[in-house]
Amino acid sequence: MIKGAIFDLDGTLYDYAANDAIAMKHLCACAKERLGVEEEDFLDAYREAKKLVKTRLTEGPSQHSRLLFCQTALELLEVNPFDHVPELYEAYWGSFLAHIAPFDGVIGMLQHLKASGIHTAVCTDMTAHIQYRKIRHLGLSDYIDALVTSEETGLEKPAPVMFQRTLKKLGLKPGDAVYVGDSLEKDVMGAAACGLRAVWFVAERTVPEDPPYPKLRSYRDDAWKELLL
Distance between CA atoms of residues 185 and 48, nearest Å:
26
**Residue 80: helix, strand or coil by DSSP?**
coil
d(CA 143, CA 114): 7
Buried b (16+ CB within 10 A) or exposed e, 10-48: bbbbbbbeebbeebbebbbebbeeebebeeeebbebbee
Measure the CA–CA gap between 86 and 82, rounded to whole angstroms.
8
Catalytic machinery residues: 8, 10
To 10 degrees, the CA torsion angle through 178, 184, 187, 191? 50
Q: How do the residues of the chain divide into helix, strand and coil, expressed in percent and rounded to 5?
A: 55, 15, 30
Q: Give the Cβ contact number of residue 187 at 10 Å.
A: 30
Task: Quickly count: other Cβ atoms within 10 Å of residue 112's Cβ.
Answer: 16
Q: How far apart are CA 216 and CA 224, in angstroms?
A: 7
